């Protein structure tokens, strides 16, 4: 039974501020949860995506790329208990969209209607295999392979990666360390401004290769540097660095598309009722 999604949204907003967690907000990790729940989509096999909330199950729950997202899911659990009619798949995606707006970003188009896979009749093919999310150690060819598989073009890819305006890397989750921007709880185009202007250098440490600014305060992953080093990506990144409005508009459309991946809708041609041959 459908309930009041506006009330759920209010409850998500109310828990975002958390002074003892990271930079004081659960917003960034909720955005990452919505993205990783959705980013497993494969347009060829039409598998993966946010529908089903399959990150509750093995192997997706144990994908190294999802390390730390158990916290995001646990933070949302009281909201699920309070509004038991909402599906996890809707709750996780709504939390990401709500967090972006609450942190000063654009309004993301979001529609309810995702269902949850029932653990009682789960088959191995219901849960996407591990390894569909991008690997931070790789470059532009890998980034394109992964996002083209989801159905995105270069402009959408660069816009989406601009979500790294938010949050940080945790050495106990991904092995990387630090935030991308000075304002990790504000959604803005600062990621592109910094990416395209700072003199990035290799961090001197025993951890995985990452890039840092002169003061070792900010960071970029190798996959972020790929956006700067690929001429097509770089053109778009520079445009977003100059014009936050264009970035917000493109990001809202791309993130809205991301959370719809693999969600069956009545107007989806692949979902039309089959006609029997006479």
The DSSP call for residue 152 is -
H or E stretch at 169: strand 168-169
Question: Would you give the DSSP letter of residue 131?
Answer: T
Among 16, 169, 212, 228, interactor with ligand DDH by CB under 6 A: 169
Interface residues for ligand DDH in 208-267 (CB under 6 A)? 221, 223, 255
Query: Which CA distances in Å does 94 have to 60, 75, 164, 200?
Result: 20, 14, 19, 35
> In 3-state terms, the chain is what percent helix, strand and coil (to 5)?
50, 5, 45
Helix H or strand E encompassing 194 = helix 190-197
Annotate 17-36 with DSSP letters as a single string. Answer: B-TTSTTTBSHHHHHHHHHH
CB nearer to ligand DDH: give 28 or 128: 28
Decide whether 52 or 96 has the Cβ nearer to ligand DDH: 96
What's the closest the beta carbon of residue 61 comes to ligand DDH, in angstroms? Answer: 16
Show contacts with ligand DDH in window 100-129 (CB under 6 A).
none
Q: Is 68 in the site for ligand DDH (CB under 6 A)?
A: yes
Under rule CB under 6 A, how many of the chain's residues touch ligand DDH? 24
Contact 208, 175 (CB under 8 A): yes
Nearer to ligand DDH, 136 or 218 (CB): 136
Q: Which of residues 125-164 bind ligand DDH (CB under 6 A)?
A: 134, 136, 143, 160-161, 163-164
Strand partners, 25: 17
Nearer to ligand DDH, 86 or 223 (CB): 223
Q: Which residues bind ligand DDH (CB under 6 A)?
A: 28-29, 31-32, 35, 68, 134, 136, 143, 160-161, 163-164, 166-170, 173-174, 176, 221, 223, 255
């Amino acid at each position: 039974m459908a309930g009041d999604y506006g009330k759920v949204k209010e409850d998500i907003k109310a828990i975002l501020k958390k002074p003892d967690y990271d930079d004081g907000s659960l917003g960034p990790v909720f955005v990452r949860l919505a993205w990783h729940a959705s980013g497993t989509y494969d347009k060829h096999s039409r598998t993966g995506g946010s529908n089903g909330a399959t990150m509750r199950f093995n192997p997706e729950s144990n994908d190294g790329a999802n390390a730390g997202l158990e916290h995001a899911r646990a933070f949302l659990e009281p909201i699920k208990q309070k509004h038991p009619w909402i599906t996890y798949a809707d709750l996780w995606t709504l939390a990401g969209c709500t967090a972006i707006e609450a942190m000063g970003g654009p309004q993301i188009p979001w529609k309810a209607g995702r269902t949850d896979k029932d653990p009682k009749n789960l088959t191995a093919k219901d849960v996407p295999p591990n390894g569909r999310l991008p690997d931070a150690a790789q470059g532009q060819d890998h980034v394109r392979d992964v996002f083209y598989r989801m159905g995105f073009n270069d402009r959408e890819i660069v816009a989406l990666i601009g979500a790294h305006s938010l949050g940080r890397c945790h050495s106990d989750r991904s092995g990387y360390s630090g935030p991308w921007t000075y304002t990790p709880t504000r959604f803005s185009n600062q990621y592109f401004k910094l990416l395209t202007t700072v003199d990035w250098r290799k961090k001197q440490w025993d951890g995985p290769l990452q890039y840092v600014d002169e003061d070792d305060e900010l960071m970029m992953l190798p996959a972020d540097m790929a956006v700067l080093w690929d001429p097509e990506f770089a053109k778009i990144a520079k445009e977003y660095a100059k014009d936050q409005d264009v970035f917000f508009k493109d990001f809202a459309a791309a993130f809205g598309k991301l959370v719809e991946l693999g969600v069956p809708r009545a107007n989806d041609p692949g979902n039309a009722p089959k006609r029997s041959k006479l």
